[in-house]
Amino acid sequence: MEVTNVHLTMLDGTGARAIGNFSLDNEFVVRGIRIMEGPHGKEFVSFPSRKKKDGEYEEVAFPVTKEFYQKLTEAILKEYQDLKAKEEQTEGQDLGQTETAEAEKSQTEAQDQETQEAAQEEQESQKSAPKRRHAR
């Protein structure tokens, strides 16, 4: 059985980092998987579950063998890492654009300040210069 598609949506905040679904052999889809962060910061896949009457949760869809569990979780976590890297890259580009805009704004403000100072100096020099009268 091959994992043929993984679709994840990133989440903000605490708890689940992403939610999504995966398909097997383009014939069977499982919805409701979550990427969670463990207590030591390591991400893991949480399979769809339901709450029983006694308050405990039980998974409703899950891999049976250790080998398929590894294969499936590796495919899902790879998609998560790719999506996370793409999101971080996009944020970095946005930050770079913001920094460039701020630098351009600072440069423009500095040029405006220099222009104003030059204009003030010109006005002051004209005030202090002796006035000349034209003879008729």
pLDDT digits (tens, 9 = 90+) for 1-49: 999 999 999 998 768 999 999 999 999 999 999 999 888 889 999 999 9
Entry pTM = 0.65
Do 72 and 20 touch, CB atoms closer than 8 A? no
pLDDT score recorded for residue 43: 92
More confident residue, 15 or 116: 15
Do 9 and 18 touch, CB atoms closer than 8 A? yes
The pLDDT of residue 124 is above 70: no
pLDDT score recorded for residue 133: 55
More confident residue, 105 or 74: 74
Q: How far is CA 18 from the centre of its chain?
A: 13
pLDDT score recorded for residue 103: 65
Domains of the chain: 3-91 (3.30.1120.40)
pLDDT score recorded for residue 94: 61
Distance between CA atoms of residues 7 and 21, nearest Å: 5
Q: Kindly tell me the burial class for residue 72, based on how many C-beta atoms sit within 10 Å of its own C-beta (0-12, 13-18, 19 or more).
A: buried
45-104 pLDDT, tens digit each? 999 999 999 999 999 999 999 999 999 999 999 999 999 999 888 877 665 666 666 767
Strands 49-51 and 43-46, by their bridges, are unpaired
